[in-house]
């Protein structure tokens, strides 16, 4: 008897897409080079093969060729106005059909479950409570989704700020994944398809 999951029993978001996982980890490594206390960031994920075909000079400048492009995504960073939360930007965004997926980086405080009982209901008060809590942990979360329904996340704690301590998985930040997935849903008739 095998412990491997039956792929027929998995939901689309539960399948591990190696191209998405690679793109999310690449974004996380890129974010780590900028250090902590950064504004959230947003990325379109474009099929690298499509990018190579559409923009051959750009692809050459990036060191990409058709062989390296097969089955991968190229993250393209999007502008977010200074001070705007990624979650706010996602609420107003719909990607064109040429975007195969998207990813976001956010930094947040996480608290032990024992702190839940004293958490204020007001969002600003809750944020202040979390920032001042002695057991808080700072975490950088990178979440990515594809139109096919694949998801992947990478998490890094500030207290364990090294490549070996990055945790990955398909559903580590479910609310952010849902918000990202909603930006990829569009009516084919509206898009002119």
Which tens digits make up the pLDDT trace of 41-50? Answer: 999 999 888 8
Say what the pTM is.
0.79
Three-class SS of residue 112?
coil
Count of beta carbons in the 10 Å neighbourhood of residue 168? 15
pLDDT digit string, tens, across residues 57-115 = 877 777 766 555 567 898 999 999 988 999 999 989 999 998 999 999 999 888 878 88
> Among 141, 146, 104, which Cα is nearest to 15's?
146
16-32, pLDDT tens digit by residue?
Answer: 899 999 999 999 999 99
Q: Calculate mean pLDDT across residues 175-191.
A: 78
Residue pair 20/45 in contact (Cβ under 8 Å)? The answer is yes
Pairwise CA distance, residues 100 & 91, whole Å: 19
The 3-state DSSP class for residue 91 equals: coil
Domain boundaries, the chain: 15-45+74-182
Mean pLDDT confidence for 50-61? 77
């Amino acid at each position: 008897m095998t412990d491997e999951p039956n792929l027929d029993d998995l939901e689309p978001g539960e399948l591990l897409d190696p191209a998405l996982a690679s793109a999310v980890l690449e974004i996380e490594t890129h974010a780590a080079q900028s250090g902590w206390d950064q504004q959230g960031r947003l990325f379109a994920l474009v099929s690298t093969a499509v990018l190579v075909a559409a923009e051959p000079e750009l692809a050459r400048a990036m060191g990409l060729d058709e062989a390296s492009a097969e089955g991968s995504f190229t993250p393209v960073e999007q502008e977010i106005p200074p001070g705007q939360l990624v979650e706010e930007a996602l609420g107003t965004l719909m990607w064109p059909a040429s975007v195969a997926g998207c990813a976001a980086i956010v930094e947040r405080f996480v608290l032990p479950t024992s702190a839940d009982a004293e958490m204020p209901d007001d969002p600003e008060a809750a944020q202040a409570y979390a920032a001042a809590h002695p057991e808080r942990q700072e975490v950088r979360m990178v979440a990515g989704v594809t139109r096919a329904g694949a998801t992947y996340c990478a998490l890094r704690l500030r207290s364990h700020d090294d490549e070996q301590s990055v945790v990955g998985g398909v559903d580590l930040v479910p609310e952010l994944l849902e918000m990202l997935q909603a930006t990829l849903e569009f009516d084919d008739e509206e898009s002119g398809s």
